[in-house]
Structure 1
């Protein structure tokens, strides 16, 4: 099944879907982060805003993802399978990167990005690093928002980032619980 997900990611990436230039997106993202730093002057607030922006993106991206891949959200109940789909299909589809899946079990997973498109042409000042800026924190929000839409309540956080001087960029995802689908209350 693992190879099947990789093939789905490759197939979707190769299709003629409308894409924006990744360099343009990365520079626009960098401008957003700089503006947030100017507006909030507190790196933990910037991290929170990036997470919030990512969360809103994730809740919308999941619909596009499910439509393009023809995967069913009802099949997204097994955490390990979902994380394989996220890594091998989702990241490939949107960023042309396939993270390595490390330390996976039924409630925890670490994704190690071999390359981070957001880190291209970026150098963080020591002040930002020492005060806790996670430049790519939008990933955490995207993952949290998308997974919540398929009824998985998760906590997502960075473990390491090459922009902070670490050897790898790693994101930890912890499954808190599987959410019950809300059934509308009958008007009868």
Structure 2
């Protein structure tokens, strides 16, 4: 029997209720302090984005084990609908207590590989990482994506379940945009790696 969107939502809520929780203010302040320290250490916003993504990737590769053991969900068979629903309604809900809105993108007219079930957006109406945050002009001009760690988390988690993806922000309210949206684009389904022959 296929799991419905409503069942995913209930599963995410149930998991959130049973999880040990951290004070949101402490979490937000700690993350903010981490970003400030990275800015001081690297003095280059592109490098800060890269470091946040790398940290998120490492977190995602570990969170997926906990996620899979608690949910016992079967492997996703449809990237754009099933994977997006599980990410939004179960993953984000169970770890951050938020449920992003999923936006499906149709196949592009240019045939660039986007759309056609290979890309979706997650619009974050709430973002606990960016509460009480205001970015200075130089960070905006330098291209800082304050919540870049979330892209890394999603990328790392999905890679552990054989989905190579690109994850990136296209808008952020901290940058003056109307919404905060991250895109998840499927690069390829990864097969179990077969060892290369010595011959």
Tell me which residue corresponds to 2:143: 132
- Corresponding residue SS for 2:64: helix
Tell me which residue corresponds to 1:34: 36
Tell me which residue corresponds to 1:154: 165
In structure 2, distance between residues paired with 1:183 and 1:86: 28
**Corresponding position: 1:10 with 2:13:** yes
In structure 2, distance between residues paired with 1:183 and 1:176: 19
List structure 1 runs of 4+ shifted beyond 2 angstroms. Answer: 182-185
Tell me which residue corresponds to 2:153: 142
**Corresponding position: 1:99 with 2:110:** no
How far did 1:78 drift?
A: 1.9
- Corresponding residue SS for 1:123: coil
In structure 2, distance between residues paired with 1:148 and 1:69: 18
How far did 1:154 drift?
A: 0.2
Q: More deviation in 110-119 or 63-72? A: 63-72
Tell me which residue corresponds to 2:177: 166
How far did 1:87 drift?
A: 0.3
How far did 1:76 drift?
A: 2.3
What is the RMSD computed on CA atoms of the aligned residues?
A: 1.5
TM-score of the aligned structures, taking structure 1 as reference length: 0.93
In structure 2, distance between residues paired with 1:120 and 1:171: 17
- Corresponding residue SS for 2:167: strand
How far did 1:19 drift?
A: 2.0
In structure 2, distance between residues paired with 1:64 and 1:21: 20
How far did 1:183 drift?
A: 5.3
In structure 2, distance between residues paired with 1:90 and 1:102: 16
How far did 1:47 drift?
A: 0.2
Unaligned 5+ segments in structure 1 are none
Q: More deviation in 175-184 or 39-48? A: 175-184
Unaligned 5+ segments in structure 2 are 106-115
Contact 1:76 1:150 in 2 (8 A): no
Contact 1:97 1:115 in 2 (8 A): yes
Say if 1:183 and 1:20 are closer, same or farther in 2 by CA, change over 3 A.
Answer: farther
Q: More deviation in 113-122 or 101-110? A: 101-110
